[in-house]
Amino acid sequence: MEGKKFLRLLSLLLVTFILFIFIFVRNSDLPSSKNFHYVNKAAAELELQPPPRKLTRHVHVSDMARHPLDPLTVQEMNRVRSIVISHALFKAAKSYALHSVVLEEPPKPLVMRWKEGDSLPPRKASVIARVDGGTHVMIVDLGLGRVEFVDVGERSGYPTMTIEDMNTATLTPFGSKEFNRTVVARGVDLKDLACLPISTGWYGKKEEKRRLIKIQCYSLEETTNFYMRPIEGLTVIVDMDSNQVLEISDNGRDIPIPQAANTEYRFSAQKNIHHKIKPINPISIEQPKGPSFTVENGHMIKWANWEFHLKPDPRAGTYMDAGEYGFGLTAMPLDPLNDCPRNAYYMDGVFAAGDGRPYVRSNMVCVFESYAGDIGWRHSESPITGMEICEARPKVTLVVRMAASVANYYYIVDWEFQNDGLINIKVGLSGILMVKGTPYTNLDQVSDQESLYGTLLSENVIGVIHDHYITFYLDMDVDGSDNSFVKVNLQRQQTSPEESHRKSYLKATRSIAKTEKDAQIKLKLYDPSEFHAVNPSKKTRVGNPVGYKVVSAGTAASLLDLDDPPQRRGAFTNNQIWVTPYNRSEEWAGGLFVYQSHGEDTLATWSERDREIENKDIVLWYTLGFHHIPCQEDFPIMPTVSSSFSLKPVNFFERNPILGIPPNFEKDLPVCQATSSTS
């Protein structure tokens, strides 16, 4: 049964961006001042203001925290480590590893009240450690040098894997003679073997009480794109705590390893085809006077009428399928000029290794202004009125980007800020498919195409149907912390003949969600609604409550049985929108310890408590989904496919906030020439 083998490929991806603080300053030609705060977690570290062309490698050793939300510095991490390992628990331990070392953010009111020049609230770290097979959550007070243990109760799962876990696990099978024998029997030289650590998930007793990982292997012979050369049916289960091989499945020996031909994607390996595509002349977004945004104290970004704090996080984003890898941990350095345009700023992440020592993930996030040629707004008068008016404004945006990989796949996450107050959040999928081997080399050999559960991408290669779900944690503070969630339902209003020659009108019915269950939202094309987060106590001049709305675009909903273990663990995808009261212990939609968790600590279980959410500090969760039926164009590497959703001001401003931006004038634009090397 072909289908059996792809069961691990359903990607339940959870991105809970947290702890981004946005302060949107209203167009100041309008009387009151209004803030839009919400919270996310991403990335930062940036020193220079305009314009540096040269990328300067930032030295982090002397970094100082200057804002309550600034991430732990190198010095702070070292201090956390020394406090932790001096603790009796660690001193007495046979083995331990730190699975997470991040800033423990101060309570929100302290952050909100803090102003530049104030001293920082006490600096604390949140640490998750495994010690002799047990999991501990600790708050470390850096000032007092104290460790406080947090009782998180009984939880079924394990914390995010460390990079060391993954590295060790992929090497473990090589210690097994049986494993080596079967690899060689399949005609693969051990030196050509590449193995990946795939989280086991949880399906029942078999995955309980031990921290497991599944190793799948590939042939590297004649290609660097080993992902396209799976050794089908060979799977090793490894215990990550004891580093033992527990089980080797060796099925599918009749399935050939797909050939290396056509699998290379590196530029250096494409020599023979470069010239076949009509070349594109150099094209670049140019800002000769430098970018318009500034980065203050390393993390506070100011652009147009936006101000926000940006910092990197090792977890934000959790890959559920493979348990937990950490979205930040797997965010690779961005490639200047290709991952981000020339005018981008790059920010490093500073994370802790398994032993607690800090390391730098360079260029993890980029920030740049984008101009794609789009129009911010326009109007010209038509010949009917005879007025000579033509007004148009170019649309310039600010993009914050990271690209996280989970080995094969890439999730390119863009937060795009518009000067009209809209935020567009876009997720692009690229990278390499997780494929499976098949005996088929042509579709005409397949009697029942459905049983492929995917598409034949090349000889002996099937791209399996799968989904991606990315859940965003949006701590909405629209002009104050207490907000309400309002469903604005569009309805047909029937009319009577004496009223109109029309049979129906459109009307909007507003209902405020009182409790969490009122805000478990499934999008409906044929029963459409808008979804607003409003501040009921702040009104515009003509009396509308100020608000932001979530605007969905293309998305997808899971088709799995609600009782299917992956769906229970990923139950946060059961609705596209949820709203919960702000609660510091409800930060990760899949639960604090996702790895092998049973699904008892997810957004879905929290929301079932049906707490009150009207005029409270609320968190809005949005899930962006993709169905992916692969096609041959995805082989051997996928052109980016993207989808997005927006947060859009709705009666947040008294009127269009970008009336005042000037049009472009020729005299302001740069003078450019090709460099000598290409002219």
Residue 36 or 90: the one with the smaller Cβ distance to a copy of itself is 36
634 is catalytic: no
Binders in 68-87 for a copy of itself, by CB under 8 A:
none
Binders in 362-391 for a copy of itself, by CB under 8 A:
368-385, 387, 389-391
Binders in 502-521 for a copy of itself, by CB under 8 A:
502-510
Give yes or no for residue 327 binding a copy of itself (CB under 8 A). no
Residue 158 or 410: the one with the smaller Cβ distance to a copy of itself is 410
Tell which one of 270, 511, 537, 583 touches a copy of itself (CB under 8 A): 270
DSSP state of 269: G
Give the C-alpha separation, 534 to 501, whole Å.
Answer: 36
Tell which one of 181, 253, 357, 492 touches a copy of itself (CB under 8 A): 492
Give yes or no for residue 176 binding a copy of itself (CB under 8 A). no
Residues in CB range of 418: below 8 A, 6 or more apart: 376, 395, 397, 424
Q: Which of the ranges 77-85, 145-153, 489-497, 586-594 carries the binding residues for a copy of itself, by CB under 8 A?
A: 489-497
β partners of residue 491? 507
Site string for a copy of itself, 205-234 (x = CB under 8 A): -x-----------------x----------
**Could you tell me which of 102, 177, 630, 197 has the C-alpha nearest to residue 407?**
197
Cα 303 to chain centroid, rounded: 23
CA distances from 523 to 163, 472, 554 (A): 38, 16, 11
CB of 373 to a copy of itself, least distance (A): 4
Options 218, 346, 409, 595, the catalytic residue: 409
Options 70, 321, 420, 467, the catalytic residue: 321
CB of 299 to a copy of itself, least distance (A): 19
Residue 171 or 184: the one with the smaller Cβ distance to a copy of itself is 171
Residues in CB range of 491: below 8 A, 6 or more apart: 506, 507, 508, 509
Angle at 436 between CA 434 and CA 442, to 5 degrees: 125
Return the H-helix or E-strand segment holding 603: helix 603-607
Tell which one of 321, 348, 467, 587 touches a copy of itself (CB under 8 A): 467
Residue for token pair 């579709």: 443
Output the six-digit token pair for 371. Answer: 């101009």
Give yes or no for residue 144 binding a copy of itself (CB under 8 A). no
Tell which one of 144, 184, 185, 490 touches a copy of itself (CB under 8 A): 490
Give yes or no for residue 353 binding a copy of itself (CB under 8 A). no
Give yes or no for residue 88 binding a copy of itself (CB under 8 A). no
Give yes or no for residue 57 binding a copy of itself (CB under 8 A). no
- 639-676 burial, b for 16+ CB within 10 Å, e for fewer? eeeebbbbbbbbbbbbeebbeebeeeeeeeeeeeeeee
Give the C-alpha separation, 515 to 581, whole Å.
Answer: 9
Angle at 474 between CA 470 and CA 478, to 5 degrees: 155
Return the H-helix or E-strand segment holding 250: strand 244-250
Give yes or no for residue 321 binding a copy of itself (CB under 8 A). no
Q: Which of the ranges 39-47, 114-122, 601-609, 630-638 carries the binding residues for a copy of itself, by CB under 8 A?
A: 630-638
Residue 266 or 357: the one with the smaller Cβ distance to a copy of itself is 266
Dump strand ranges (E) for 371-483. Answer: 375-380, 390-394, 397-406, 409-418, 423-431, 435-437, 454-458, 461-464, 466-478
321 is catalytic: yes
Q: Starting at the edge strand that comes first in sequence, how are the strands of the sheet with 358-370 ordered?
A: 345-352, 358-370, 397-406, 409-418, 423-431, 638-650, 545-552, 529-539, 484-494, 504-512
Binders in 554-573 for a copy of itself, by CB under 8 A:
554-557, 559-561, 563-566
CB 149 within 8 A of CB 140: no
Give yes or no for residue 395 binding a copy of itself (CB under 8 A). yes
Binders in 414-453 for a copy of itself, by CB under 8 A:
418-422, 428, 430-432, 441-444, 449-451, 453
CB of 296 to a copy of itself, least distance (A): 13
Q: Which residues are catalytic?
A: 321, 409
